[in-house]
Structure 1
């Protein structure tokens, strides 16, 4: 492992988001180097990690503001339509005597619009600050570095005096999360290189093999906690440095002897897929319930809200999955759910089709039968 280089200069005060991001990256890199030194006594290439975890959020803030504003306008318009009263834009409504009079619901609509606008602005500001403090505005391909640093932190805690089963169990979960992070990062990496199917398949397959190795090493925490902890710390440090260096298809292969990677890995981790679907479905259900309660209080009839709820839950679930994991991963998760429900039967293989074609009366007879027929003739 290479020696750490001097940390870069902090961004100026006129860029507060970059400055917050820089401070978090410096702290995480220093903590990871300290944890690795405490477990194995070797240094960590903090300079390589700092260069890979630079602030990369061009266009994300503007896109987030546009999306939040669009959703705010949609929700505000939906509430305005649901509220009683048919106000004109100026807030006046013709009275019984054909004289314009103040609309009774105009003041409530203005208040609701102001509350929704302030809440959306506060949510956007809080999300931007949280992302800056958490240093998540990095290249999607480099996000597994943070998970690898979490594994190093868990390894250091498991090696502390008095550590026992809770620390080992936490380390096992962190190791599994690192494997899943590598699998998730395969999609963005493939997109960076052109999103070709062969590139995506190669990256994802190699990431699954590394994830299987991490899970197998984590299973050794039960019989031999000390050795498995040191092994996980070693693997996490190498993965962090190689991911930061862009060696996405060469993880762990240049680390001493070639690692004993499993020959196969599970196609899709059932536990991780189930967690994703559960979180997205529950979030969509809570949002739908909130909208139904709000529209019910505003007087919208039930025969209108019920069909909307039936459409909103699956639509929001798919949109949440697509926003969090990408469109291709969301489609795959929906297909997994349909397979579990039995809506996607398995297609017949090609071998029976070839056998049926050979046994067809309209096809050519087998070679043995043709020779037998020729001899009898």
Structure 2
């Protein structure tokens, strides 16, 4: 029995092409997953429940990308034009790197630069939006582990086909590990949806880690017993997809029961996951800033302009990348974690003293 009636969503109208692309992608992937599960273990898959959970959810990501890209484009054009204007001599000439004098950019040149930047930003936004619609990524963050589960089902079906061998088994092992990591990442999103309480976050993370450990343990059995491990992974992936779509985040295996108490690997700890996210975002922001500095340096922008530019853009780009990848709430949490590590606003744990029961404060016997 599910938490809600599993009616499949109605196809969006023609004047919503992105939602129609999302809807068709979900229909195609769920139908293929049901066929794969039936071919591997002979069990049905609740396709209607999956399609209802994977309905298109407009979360404002396109607006965020538009604002972020437009802001960066305006900042780059502003620095470029300001630098060129500051280098112009009173006679209307611009010194070049070779020491010669050239004409300063006219108003039309500045307009042309702004148009090129705006066109490139628009192409990037449109391409990213259509790509996300084709991949059906606009779903609730808590429901995103359904797609890795469907990918595991597809890999299991490929491994059962005639002629499958080591390459297909290795692909299945990698996808099973990716499913476990997706469950751990989604546990934090679910805890945020339910109020970000420490007890809720701990229970969800503990359960997700145990399920991920079970997936990894089963994937390790692909080497000695490929057929049995493939069927087991298909059953686990099907149960995880249905339970995640149904919102049962503390019972991801459903009728298969709770996962055994298996040891979890160290890289799945929250501090290492947060550190990896911060490191990737910071390095990406640094590389983007270096590329902008090199480009502006080749155009003749002086160093006293590029230095403040780097000091401003690296933290800003880091936060924008975190917000684009994990959402604003998670980006703010990661920034707060970084400030806590640096010693700012650190929360000291308060020791709780146990209150003695009546009759035990003076060594006497407790009341009967």
Give the TM-score range, shorter chain.
Answer: 0.7 to 0.9
Change (3 A) 1:172 1:271: farther
Could you tell me how far apart the structure 1 residues matched to 2:201 and 2:7 are? 35
Q: Are the aligned partners of 2:9 and 2:55 in contact in 1 as well (CA < 8 Å)?
A: no
Q: Does 1:260 align with 2:260?
A: yes
Q: What residue number does 1:74 align with?
A: 75
Q: Are the aligned partners of 2:65 and 2:324 in contact in 1 as well (CA < 8 Å)?
A: no
Change (3 A) 1:329 1:37: farther
Could you tell me how far apart the structure 1 residues matched to 2:174 and 2:203 are? 26
Q: Which runs of 5+ in 1 are unaligned?
A: 88-92, 97-101, 344-348, 352-377
Q: What residue number does 1:229 align with?
A: 230
Change (3 A) 1:318 1:6: closer
State the Cα distance separating 1:333 from its structure 2 match.
8.2
Secondary structure at the residue paired with 1:255?
helix
Q: Are the aligned partners of 2:7 and 2:48 in contact in 1 as well (CA < 8 Å)?
A: yes
Could you tell me how far apart the structure 1 residues matched to 2:317 and 2:279 are? 13
How do residues 260-339 of structure 1 correspond to structure 2 at under 5 angstroms?
260-262=260-262, 266=266, 268=269, 276=277, 279-302=280-303, 304-306=305-307, 308-309=309-310, 312-313=313-314, 316-325=317-326, 326-327=330-331, 330-331=334-335
Q: Does 1:20 align with 2:21?
A: yes
State the Cα distance separating 1:228 from its structure 2 match.
1.1
CA offsets 1:169-200 (integer angstroms, 9 cap, x no match):
11111111111111111122112112222212
Change (3 A) 1:119 1:19: same
Change (3 A) 1:350 1:188: closer
Q: Which moved more, 1:217-226 or 1:281-290?
A: 281-290
What is the TM-score normalised by the length of structure 1?
0.77
Q: Are the aligned partners of 2:49 and 2:245 in contact in 1 as well (CA < 8 Å)?
A: yes
Equivalent residues, number? 335
State the Cα distance separating 1:58 from its structure 2 match.
4.4
Q: Are the aligned partners of 1:322 and 1:330 in contact in 2 as well (CA < 8 Å)?
A: no
Give the aligned CA root-mean-square deviation in angstroms: 3.6
Q: Which runs of 5+ in 2 are unaligned?
A: 93-102, 344-348, 352-368
Q: Are the aligned partners of 1:218 and 1:232 in contact in 2 as well (CA < 8 Å)?
A: yes
Larger radius of gyration: 1
